[in-house]
Amino acid sequence: MPEQLEGSQAVARTVAACRPEVICAYPISPQTHIVEALSRLVKSGALHPCEFVNVESEYAAMSVAIGASATGARAYTATASQGLLYMAEALYNASGLGLPIVMTVANRAIGAPINIWNDHSDSMSQRDSGWIQLYVESNQEAADVHVQAFRIAEALSLPVMVCMDGFILTHAVERVELPDPDRVDAFLPAFEPRQLLDPSAPVTIGAMVGPEAYTEVRYLAHYKQMQALDLIPEVAAAFQQAFGRASGGLLRPYRSSDAETIVVALGSVLGTIEDCVDQLRDDGHRIGAVGLRTFRPWPAEEVRRALEGARHVIVLEKALSVGIGGIVAQNVHRALEGLPITVHTVIAGLGGRPITMASLRSLCERGLAGTLPDTTFLDLEEALVDAEIGRMRGGRRSGPHAENMLRDVGTVGAAGLT
C-alpha cells in the first residue's frame, strides 16, 4: 500500500526489510535521516538481529562493514560527499576483497568550497573504486533498487553503491510503495559468503599480491564486475515479476527510439528531462531521453544500442571532471565510437544549482538546432566568471588551452577578446 514518505524513511525501511545484520553509521547530510531511522528500528527491536554501530568516521564505517561482511554478516552503511571520500581507501578495499556490502550514497557536492547540496561529484569520484554504482530516479526506485542491490552484491560478491540525489530525493516526501517485507525475504536469498572468517574452516583474507599476479587479480575484478551487466537486468526483471514494478536495470529509454536528439542523464533530473521531452515532442521535435541506472559497470553495448539512431546526444551530468569536463559523456563517447553522432556535454546542477525546465528546454532547443558547443555549463553566470577571469589574467597569463575551453562555453566571445 503506497504511503507518503520521506525518501530517507523509504530507504531505511526497505533496507530494514533486507535484514542487514550490521549497520554502521556516521552522520553526514543529506544521508543522516536514513541511518537515524535505522538506528531507531534497531534500538526498538523492530530490526533484529542487527548490530547498529555508531562509528567514529566513515573510514571506520566502511571498515566495520568490511569486518562484518567478511564474517558473513549482511552489512550496510550510508554516506555522502566528504564522507564518501573519507572512506575512499576502504571502498577500494571492500571491492578488492569482494565483500558484498550495500551502501547508500546520498549524492552531494564535495568541497572546497564545502557545499551540502546535491550533485554527483562524490559518487563519480569513486567510479573506479570497483563498486557497482546504481543511480535511481525516484524514491520508489530508491526503495526498490536497495532490495535488488543486496541480491546483486551477494550473487557477485561485490559491493554496491545505490546513489540517490541528496535532498532532492532523500528529503522529498513522495508516494512510495515500500517493498513488502515477506516478499523481500522471498526475493533475497540468505547471504552465502564466498569467503568467511570462520574458526572451523580458517582462511587468510587479504593477501599481498605482487606483480606476478596483480594484473590477473585486477582482470578478474573487472571480469566479475562485467558479469553484473547480465545480472542487473535479470534481477530487475525478477523484481518486476515479484513486486509488479519496473525499477533498476541498466538504463531506461524514454521516447528515444526514433529520436534524432537524445538526452542522457542519471538520477532524479530524469523526471524534468522527460517532461521537457514531452513538451518538445508536442512541438514536433524528434527528441528523447535515456536514463542511466547503472553507471558501473558501464553498459556500453546497451548505451550504444539505445543511442545509435540519434544524431545528437546531450549528456547532462551533475559532476565535473576538472581538467577534462564531463565524466558520463566520456563513457558515452566510447560507447558510440565510430558512429556519426555528436556528443555534447552539459554540466548541470552542481552544488545543488536547480535545473529548471526553462533552462533545459533552451538547452534542448540549441541541441536540436545544432548550436550546442562541445561542453556547456548550464546556467553559468557568465558575467561573474568573466569578471573573475579578468582579474585572474591580471595576475597570471593563461595559455591557449584554457582560452579554448572558455570559447567552448561562449565566455571568450562574450569577453570580447579585450
Partner 1 sequence: MSALPTPFAITLDVGSSRANHTGSWRSERPEYVRLTAPCGAGCPAAEDVQQWLYHAEEGGYEAAWRKIMERNPFPAVCGRVCYHPCETACNRGQLDDAVGINSVERFLGDQAIAHGWTVRAMPPSGRRVLVVGAGPSGLSAAYHLALLGHHVTVRDMAPAAGGMMRYGIPKYRLPREVLDAEVQRIADLGVVFELGHHVGDVVAEQLDGGFDAVFLAVGAQLPQRTYVPAGSAAKILDAIALLRDVEDGSAGPPLLGRRVAVYGGGNTAMDAARTAKRLGADEAVIVYRRTRDHMPAHESELQEALEEGVQVRWLSTIAHADAGTLTIERMELDEHGYPQPTGRFEELEADAVVLATGQVSDLSLLDGVPGIERRDHAVTVDANLMTGHPGLFAGGDMVPAQRTVTVGIGHGRRAAHGIDRWLRGIETEAPVELNDSASETGVGPQPSLTEVPFERLNPWYYSDAPRTVRDQLDAVRRCTTFDEVVLGLDESTALFEARRCLSCGNCLACDNCYGVCPDNAVVKLTPPGAYAYAFDLDFCKGCGLCAQECPCGAIEMHPEPI
Partner 2 sequence: MTATRLKYFQTGSFAAGNRLVEPSERSEQAAPGRANAITCGHRACQGCGEALGARYALDAAMRATGGELIAANATGCLEVFSTPYPESSWQLPWIHSLFGNAAAVSTGIAAALRAKGNTRTRVIGQGGDGGTVDIGFACLSGMFERGDDVLFICYDNEAYMNTGVQRSAATPPSARTATTQAVGEAPGAPWGQGKNAPLIALAHEIPYVATATIADLRDLEAKVERAMQIRGARYLHVLVTCPLGWGTASGDAIRVARLAVETGIFPVWEGGDGEVTAVTRIRHRTPVEEYLKLQTRFRHLFTPVRDDATIARIQARADRNIERFGLVGEAGQHPLDLHEEGGS
Q: Which of 29, 36, 96, 342 binds partner 1 (CB under 8 A)?
A: 96
In the complex, the smallest distance separating the C-beta of residue 294 from partner 1, rounded to whole angstroms, is 23
Nearer to partner 2, 96 or 309 (CB): 96
Nearer to partner 2, 213 or 369 (CB): 213
Separation of alpha carbons 214 and 262, rounded Å: 40
Instruction: Determine the size of the site formed for partner 2 (CB under 8 A).
Output: 44
Question: Could you tell me the CA-to-CA distances from 276 to 96, 111, 243, 285 in Å, in that order?
Answer: 41, 31, 29, 11
SS3 for 124-143 is: HHCCCCCCEEEECCCHHHHH
The label of the residue with cell 533484529 reads 48
Question: Could you tell me the CA-to-CA distances from 399 to 84, 136, 389, 402 in Å, in that order?
Answer: 35, 41, 13, 6
Q: Which of 11, 12, 15, 22 binds partner 2 (CB under 8 A)?
A: 22
In the complex, the smallest distance separating the C-beta of residue 157 from partner 1, rounded to whole angstroms, is 7
Q: Which of 46, 173, 186, 217 binds partner 1 (CB under 8 A)?
A: 217
Q: Which of 1, 4, 45, 56 binds partner 2 (CB under 8 A)?
A: 56
CB 50 within 8 A of CB 19: yes
In the complex, the smallest distance separating the C-beta of residue 253 from partner 1, rounded to whole angstroms, is 34
In the complex, the smallest distance separating the C-beta of residue 19 from partner 1, rounded to whole angstroms, is 18
Q: Is the dihedral of CA 30, 322, 335, 404 positive or negative?
A: positive
Q: Let me know how long the chain is.
A: 418
211 binding partner 2? (CB under 8 A) = no
Nearer to partner 2, 55 or 229 (CB): 55
β-bridge partners, 53: 24
273 is written with which cell numbers? 528531462
Q: Which of 1, 56, 113, 203 binds partner 1 (CB under 8 A)?
A: 203
Which range, of 48-56, 105-113, 274-282, 343-351, touches partner 2 by CB under 8 A? 48-56
Separation of alpha carbons 133 and 112, rounded Å: 24
In the complex, the smallest distance separating the C-beta of residue 215 from partner 1, rounded to whole angstroms, is 11
Query: Please, which of residues 73-102 interact with partner 2 by CB under 8 A?
Result: 73, 75, 89-90, 93, 97
Exposed/middle/buried for residue 216 (C-beta within 10 Å: 0-12, 13-18, 19+): exposed
Half-sphere exposure of 415 (CA within 13 A, CB side): 22
Nearer to partner 2, 130 or 233 (CB): 130
3-state secondary structure of 82: helix
**Strands, DSSP E only, in 86-131?**
102-107
89 binds, among partner 1, partner 2, none (CB under 5 to 8 A by kind): partner 2
Question: Could you tell me the CA-to-CA distances from 47 to 6, 75, 146, 191, 371 in Å, in that order?
Answer: 19, 13, 16, 17, 55
395 binds, among partner 1, partner 2, none (CB under 5 to 8 A by kind): none
Neighbours of 88 (CB within 10 A): 15
Q: Which of 98, 166, 249, 291 binds partner 1 (CB under 8 A)?
A: 98
The string of DSSP letters for 346-404 reads EE--GGG----HHHHHHHHHHHHHT---SEEETT--HHHHHHHHHHHHHHS---HHHHH
Instruction: Determine the size of the site formed for partner 1 (CB under 8 A).
Output: 22
Site pattern 143..182 for partner 1 (x: CB under 8 A): --------------x-------------------------
Question: Which among 249, 255, 269 has a CA at the least distance from the CA of 306?
Answer: 255
CB 46 within 8 A of CB 25: no
Nearer to partner 1, 86 or 131 (CB): 131
354 binds, among partner 1, partner 2, none (CB under 5 to 8 A by kind): none
In the complex, the smallest distance separating the C-beta of residue 208 from partner 1, rounded to whole angstroms, is 9
Residues that bind partner 2 (CB under 8 A): 21-22, 24, 49-51, 53-57, 59-60, 63-73, 75, 89-90, 93, 97, 196-199, 202-210, 212-213
Residue ranges that bind partner 1, judged by CB under 8 A:
96-98, 157, 192-196, 198, 201-207, 209, 213, 216-217, 220
